[in-house]
Amino acid sequence: MAKIMIQGTASSVGKSILVAALCRIFKQDGYSVCPYKSQNMSLNSYITLAGKEMGRAQVLQAYASKLEPEVYMNPILLKPTTDKSCQVIVKGEVYKNCSAKDYYSMKKEFAPMLKKDFEELENKFDIVVIEGAGSPAEINLRENDIVNMGLAELVDAPVILAGDIDKGGVFASLFGTVMLLEENEKKRIKGTIINKFRGDVDILKPGLSMLEERINIPCLGVVPYFNLNLEDEDGAVEFNTEVNSNIDIAVIKLPHISNFTDIDALKIEEDVSLRYITSSENFGNPDLLIIPGSKNTIGDLIYIRENGIEKKIKEYAENHGFIFGICGGYQMLGDLIEDPFKMETEFLSVKGIGLLNIDTTFLDSKVTTRVKGNVINSKIPVYGYEIHMGVSKFGEKVKPLIEIINKNGEEVLIEDGAINEEKNVMGTYIHGIFDGREFREYIINSLREKKGIKRKKSVVYEDIRNAEIDKLADIVRDSLDMNKIYEIIGIEEKV
């Protein structure tokens, strides 16, 4: 069946968003469509209904396709643990931890699996929209490539090459990328896209013509720079540090921050300012402090301890500041973290921040579940997903925060999270907890009341996201030659 692949001149040129846009456009035009990225490197992951782990970028693309996210959309996920090592997740389950060098040598063993699984997708959907990773011109990685031109050859996909003009040097990036490819790879590129353009397109047109003459590949359109309430792709996040609204919510920017999409839903609250704390100097006095997830909890805890942020957190808590920890951030808030299997570092144990009376032990198996529950004593519903290797035990000075009643579709009754006696420090293992309208409204309204601001009803995040995807599709459809794209993928455009 039909397929198209979006590759880029570099990371963060907008491949993920362009794939999401095309998925929604094809869906609007009446086709069944599926996103696909063979290998994703990301600390932003998600748990499917089947309890499998996949990259968040393909989750957004699944929503754009009006599909439930499934691991076949992202069969290989790499989660960096250090600068030179990562956890390899295959079809939603941990495969092994290894060095970057070791993974490079093992990639070719995945090719037969990818080819077989992709052929099954082709039989199931009218169109598969494939996303590359980084750049196909990373010539040191060409051998055994399974995510860019190597994958395009494996599944015989035509390619559109995208460049980011907002970075500057887009013509050089496109030209240089094409020139570094092998002749058979160049032939796969059927068009280029200029992304994130600000200004008058007429001024750009002479450059487009000159580029087309030099590489003999047509430009399929120029997509303008835009801001929509959609999840940020990895590496493209703007970690704002300024307060620009009534309610100041600050997030600790950990070196190994993971699942930063956990706080995306907070951005849609009209009177909320979301900023990141990058040092003790810009800590300020937020209305809510969030300590997010981490792929290296112990390493990141040591980092904030050494640079003075931990001291600021303790002072903030003593002054009745409101603190919320998610997963790794929740673990950091406890009294002790033990790592008997040395899953993260060489430390067998490390003292926590000491604001929640819990002790955490890292195990050698990972919990990956979708959950539903309620805030204890209030019955406010919550939902989200768990991705963690730690088990936390309650002390006498905390109470559980949430009662989980469903895990991966099965009825349970399990306590999660903790809240201190003063009720200003709390944490949970549930990622995506702010996506739920009721819980987000409960937290934000408590902040509004403290500041003398009128309570407000929150909106449904999923409705906002769906409307924003439609806006994205409109922008991209108006910017690209969709007739030419349909011609490239070998089907006629539906009117």
- The residues annotated as belonging to the active site are 327, 431
Q: Which residues pair with 139 in a beta bridge?
A: none
- Cβ(403)–Cβ(43) under 8 Å? no
Q: For residue 343, give the nearest of 328, 357, 358 by alpha carbon.
A: 328
Cβ neighbors of 209 (< 8 A, separation 6 or more) are none
Q: Which residues pair with 80 in a beta bridge?
A: 86
Query: Is the alpha carbon torsion for 80, 84, 90, 94 positive or negative?
Result: negative
- Cβ(299)–Cβ(318) under 8 Å? no
- Cβ(371)–Cβ(401) under 8 Å? no
How many residues are present in the chain?
Answer: 495
User: Could you tell me how far CA 234 lies from the centroid of its own chain?
Assistant: 6
